[in-house]
Structure 1
Amino acid sequence: MKNHPKFASFTTGQRQAYGLIIDGGVIDLAARFATRYPTLMDVVVANAFNEVLETSADLKPDFPLSAITFDIPLANPEKLICVGVNFPDRNEEYKDGQAAPTNPSLFIRFPRSFTGHDRPLIRPPESHQLDYEGEITIVIGKAGRRIAEAEALSHIAALTLCNEGTLRDWVRHAKFNVTQGKNFDASGSIGPWLVPFTDESQLADIRLETRVNGEVRQSDRTSRMIFSFRKIINYISTFTTLVPGDVIVCGTPTGAGARFDPPIWLKPGDVVEVEAEGIGLLRNTIADEVL
């Protein structure tokens, strides 16, 4: 598997920045491109990954990883859209006798509902039914409306991972939506970094795995997705213009905690890892909200 460059947003001291992860540390790109590309979002919007890579070719890390706190890669995307029920076994989990849907199920999350790599997912006092959903996530790099499937991958700027943490009882508070249970502050995570997208092999048939305390709970391959990355981009762009920096979370395999009998909810001290070949490993602990 090719070793792709990794661009992360982070905090060091009181300063928010972004950089290139290399040799156990990070090259501070925010300091070097403070005027032209002050944030990682600016790099995405300008399609400037190659430019900043060339500038960083001979540089050494400015900080060790121990000196930074990972933030979500893109702090304020215009849109953060999630795809539900996108693996065959996941559809069968619902036991409703229905065939796989002909169009993807979609819902919206807010950036505040996510935290970064190696930071705790927060279990709120309103519910202890915090669950995990490991997912591959794409970042749009080129704007488009009604994007043809044949052209869809050319609109991807980068890849990352998501633990699309969910408060299961709160997604059932109303008849037609899941918004409440998907948007508690810091209940999910995105990261650790963005991997620039270069060709279809990065997504065609890679393994996605979620582990809780080292136990494999979810494992599947992107080649089995009900709706391909091409279809997802085509479908979403039919009703809304996709713009650079938009984030699309592309669905989770079977095996979430809600599907055990009895369900197994995340609790303080648990460690959840989401890993995908060629992208990386997103790790989070669980903590109760401090009131």
Structure 2
Amino acid sequence: MKIATFRAGDQTLYGAVGDGGMIALSPEFPQWPTLRDVVQAGALHDLALAAKGKAVTHPTGGFEYLIPVPNPEKIICVGVNFPDRNAEYKDGQEAPPNPSLFIRFPRSFTGAGQPLIRPPETPQLDYEGEIAIVIGKEGRRISEESAYDHIAAITLCNEGTLRDWVRHAKFNVTQGKNWDLSGAMGPWMVPFTSAAQLDDVRLTTTVNGELRQDDRTSRMIFPIRKQIAYISTFTTLVPGDIIVTGTPTGAGARFDPPRFLQPGDVIEVEAEGIGTLTNTVADE
């Protein structure tokens, strides 16, 4: 089952992805106004049951995808989490003992099918294809063994980055990671039911049909269980929180010369068992 948040006219709805469009389910569940509320209630299964046998209410072309979980309390991103990504920095350092983390704001993401926005202040818009997890159960100091019990769903992320703005300060990357509508998330989320959905999944990114990133989650320096355990050491994870789990080697900045995104480019992030997140690029 695939569950999404979408906009049709002046309505924001959620529902199940059907053949040829969306099956709106939010009108049936007024007690849960958004998918964040559904996740908090542990009710994704209720949506699956409600969708059975129902016809599409909003055909493809009559709606647009929004990020799956609206207004999450936290979006925490994991950096430099594949072996080849660490080598790309060419600083002679081994992979660090703990993950590098940074925060993104919900406003920095758009939905599937929408353009990533390149601002006038810099042309260095880059792509980073990633798998993101949606927390479904609150926890603090979660053990690695029980980490997967806290996941509600999985989605995809293009963690778009303005590369020169990442280097504007000495210690942080916040500026380059939070331009409005510079990244994307979606198009839907898939309920998490099995470790097989995360432990060894192929993740790819293409730009205009050219394969740029290609790796497997089994090669992560910090597996997703470790990420949940480490992050929950210092902050309470709550339902609807999102962890963006890391991108493989092959981002545009690492080519010589760099290959930054241009208006009209088409970026596709794909992962086994989840689907494909497709976006274009436009100037602000």
TM-score with structure 2 setting the length: 0.99
Which structure 1 residue ranges, 4+ long, deviate > 2 Å from structure 2? none
Question: For 1:176, which of 137, 162, 171 is the aligned residue?
Answer: 171
For the residues of structure 1 that align with 2:200 and 2:48, how far apart are their CA atoms?
27
- 5+ long unaligned stretches in structure 1: none
For 2:181, the aligned partner's letter is A
State how many pairs are aligned: 284
Matched, 1:21 2:17: yes
Question: For 2:202, which of 166, 189, 207 is the aligned residue?
Answer: 207
1:71, CA displacement in angstroms?
A: 0.4
| Match of residue 41 from structure 2 | 46
Q: What whole-Å deviation, never above 9, does each CA across 1:145-198 have from its counterpart, x for those lacking one?
A: 000000000000000000000000000000000000000000000000010000
Matched, 1:32 2:28: yes
Question: For 1:144, which of 135, 139, 148 is the aligned residue?
Answer: 139
For 1:42, the aligned partner's letter is D
**Could you say what secondary structure the match of 2:22 adopts?**
strand
1:51, CA displacement in angstroms?
A: 1.2
RMSD between superposed Cα atoms in Å: 0.6
For 1:189, the aligned partner's letter is A
1:233, CA displacement in angstroms?
A: 0.1
| Match of residue 265 from structure 1 | 260
**Could you say what secondary structure the match of 1:66 adopts?**
coil
Report if the CA contact (8 A) 2:25-2:50 is conserved: no
**Could you say what secondary structure the match of 1:10 adopts?**
strand
Matched, 1:285 2:264: no
Question: For 1:243, which of 209, 229, 238 is the aligned residue?
Answer: 238
For the residues of structure 2 that align with 1:160 and 1:50, how far apart are their CA atoms?
17
Question: For 2:110, which of 109, 112, 115 is the aligned residue?
Answer: 115
Question: For 1:160, which of 155, 158, 161 is the aligned residue?
Answer: 155
For the residues of structure 1 that align with 2:182 and 2:44, how far apart are their CA atoms?
30
For the residues of structure 1 that align with 2:162 and 2:20, how far apart are their CA atoms?
35
**Could you say what secondary structure the match of 1:81 adopts?**
strand
- 5+ long unaligned stretches in structure 2: none
Report if the CA contact (8 A) 2:34-2:70 is conserved: no
Matched, 1:55 2:54: no
TM-score with structure 1 setting the length: 0.97
Q: What whole-Å deviation, never above 9, does each CA across 1:204-226 have from its counterpart, x for those lacking one?
A: 11100000000000000000000
